[in-house]
Structure 1
Amino acid sequence: MSLAYRRQSTSHRGCTLSWFVEGDGPPVVMIQGVGIGATGWRPQVEELASRFRCLCLDNRGFGASQPPGDALTVELMADDVLALMDAQGWKSAHVMGHSLGGLVALYLTHKARERVRSLALLCTFATGAVPTRLTPRMLLMGLRTQVGTRRMRRHAFLRMVLAPEELAHADKDALAEQLAELFDHDLADQPPVAMRQFRAMGNADATPFLQGLAGLPTLVVSATHDPIAPPTAGQALAAGIPGARFVELPHASHGVTLRFAERVNTLLREHLDAAEASHPGALSG
């Protein structure tokens, strides 16, 4: 089911981390969220690799990055990314994160600000209390992805990550099959590490150190219909980082990077080009 990329691996703190690098140019690190691996960035890699060198990883415990280790934390995941930058010989890189990956990017930047050229934070939040909140809506959406037939669970997952108007006239079975290739698993199944990732996310809070990221080129993108990372969370995140740019994309939900790739990629290109222009002396890695 995995899309073909030339993989590399290295051992770090009890896990054999798996990643791939595509493209040429200034380095960009792309960090995914709960239950999705490196191939989830394919729509962005296909666009950005002509101008940037894109590193995409399976977070520890997912896909080919095994085993997860004893204590999965956002701090540990951030250390993993720094280890891969070291393996590539990259002194610095632009860092991009989606959902949980956004929190990982924030922790990485807090720990090693000098290694981050810019931040792109997509459908994410400053604190894991946002996506792990136990509202009736979130509880019901989560339950529907766990019970019923496989087809019912796939369709429930689609409703969690796509906007209602995206699904209104869609062939949901075909769409679930298409997204399964990018998620690297059948949407009816929850990867074994997902709950551990969820708990790690819930225990993380970057709010106390957001002000310290002032001056770092930062793009925050939210989707209007996202129930996991609502626009209010994106607005709060952007407001916490002095100088950050906030963009809300209408008609989209948590899967905006997959379903509205053209819009997202345009924003990312503009952001990365501007960040590179502001640091003309930076080495390309």
Structure 2
Amino acid sequence: MRATIETVELPSTCTEIYRKGEGPTLVLIQGGGTGKRAWYPIIDRIADRVHCLAFDNRGVGKGADIGDSLTIHDLAGDAAELIEWLGEGPVHVAGVSLGGMIAMRLASERPDLVKTLTLHSTTAKRNGRGQDAADFRMRILDLGLPVDVLRRFVALWSEGAAGLTWNIPDDVVNTESFDRHNYEMQMEAARGHHMSVEELNRITSPTLITVGSDDILTTPEDAKHLWRSIPGSRLIKVQGGGHGYYIDDPDLVAMLQAGWVAQHSHTP
């Protein structure tokens, strides 16, 4: 099945989108410092029944460079503009890690654009360990260490009980096109992320939350907080999964993601 790549100019930014598949539209939002290509293994597994659209956030891949500041609200606004550009009405939306932060903000502020919501490996606020990991990433850069050290650090914090069983996608801390300023701004956006229970209560889209049992960045307790706060949401814990379980086990994530879309594709 043929994929297409297109540059899209939006009111607030520009991005590159990757589309593949037929069926209900699913917009996929990637995590911090990572581009759209990390979604490709999952897209390949569901494109026979889901029209998938992945794009680059500001500061990664072919996304626009970041200026002096960046917030999750800004990134959610970009996603809203992209969905409006599609002109298809509400669509299914999924986000992982920082992408999940963007997706939950989008669903809370623009429920008219989100048919269903899937939140993988994410949180409504940074916990202490996640904050420590972000701080240490910046320390690696301050010390002037090779970018590949940062890349391996991200992998280490993303593994589950079985250790590192996956090859890190090229988009994860891309050593060839790494831009320190853009990376730092994305980390700052994640650091400033916080959604209150009241804001989470405003999410009306059917919501699926997934978390690895061994995720030490966005923990099962973080996922439970989302589940308790988002009305009618469902929670799935992946035994032995770490923060990067969606990369480690694309077959499982594809099954969960396609199933959630299919379950809600014929509702008004």
TM-score scaled by length of structure 2: 0.87
Alpha-carbon displacement from aligned partner over 1:206-263 (angstroms, at most 9, x marks no partner): 223111224x211000011212101110111111012111111111111111111111
Quickly say closer, same or farther: Cα 1:142–1:187, change in 2 above 3 A: farther
Structure 1 runs, 4 residues or longer, greater than 4 Å off: 129-132, 137-154, 187-191
Mean Cα displacement is larger for which, 145-154 or 225-234? 145-154
Quickly say closer, same or farther: Cα 1:30–1:100, change in 2 above 3 A: same
Quickly say closer, same or farther: Cα 1:201–1:26, change in 2 above 3 A: same
Native 8 Å contact 2:220 2:237 kept in 1: yes
Unaligned runs of 5+ in 2: none
**CA distance in structure 2 between the partners assigned to 1:129 and 1:150 by the alignment:** 25
Supply the AA of the counterpart residue of 2:260: H
Native 8 Å contact 2:83 2:113 kept in 1: no
Q: Aligned to 1:253, which of 235, 242, 248?
A: 242
Equivalent in the alignment of 1:158: 155
Equivalent in the alignment of 1:127: 125
What is the DSSP-based 3-state SS (H/G/I as helix, E as strand, rest coil) of the residue aligned with 2:67?
coil
The Cα of 1:62 is off from its aligned counterpart by 1.2
Equivalent in the alignment of 1:200: 189
Alpha-carbon displacement from aligned partner over 1:41-94 (angstroms, at most 9, x marks no partner): 112111121111111010012111122234311111111112212222221100
Supply the AA of the counterpart residue of 1:91: G
Supply the AA of the counterpart residue of 1:96: A
Supply the AA of the counterpart residue of 2:201: Q
Q: Aligned to 1:24, which of 22, 25, 28?
A: 22
Equivalent in the alignment of 2:65: 67
Equivalent in the alignment of 1:84: 82
Alignment pair present for 1:237 and 2:226: yes
Unaligned runs of 5+ in 1: none
Q: Aligned to 1:263, which of 241, 245, 252?
A: 252
The Cα of 1:180 is off from its aligned counterpart by 3.5
**CA distance in structure 1 between the partners assigned to 2:193 and 2:36 by the alignment:** 22
Equivalent in the alignment of 1:185: 174
Native 8 Å contact 1:96 1:102 kept in 2: yes
**CA distance in structure 2 between the partners assigned to 1:128 and 1:187 by the alignment:** 29
The Cα of 1:16 is off from its aligned counterpart by 2.1
Instruction: Map residues 201-216 of structure 1 onto 2, 5 A cutoff.
Output: 201-207=190-196, 208-214=198-204, 216=205
What is the DSSP-based 3-state SS (H/G/I as helix, E as strand, rest coil) of the residue aligned with 1:60?
coil
Alignment pair present for 1:273 and 2:262: yes
Identity across aligned pairs (percent)?
23
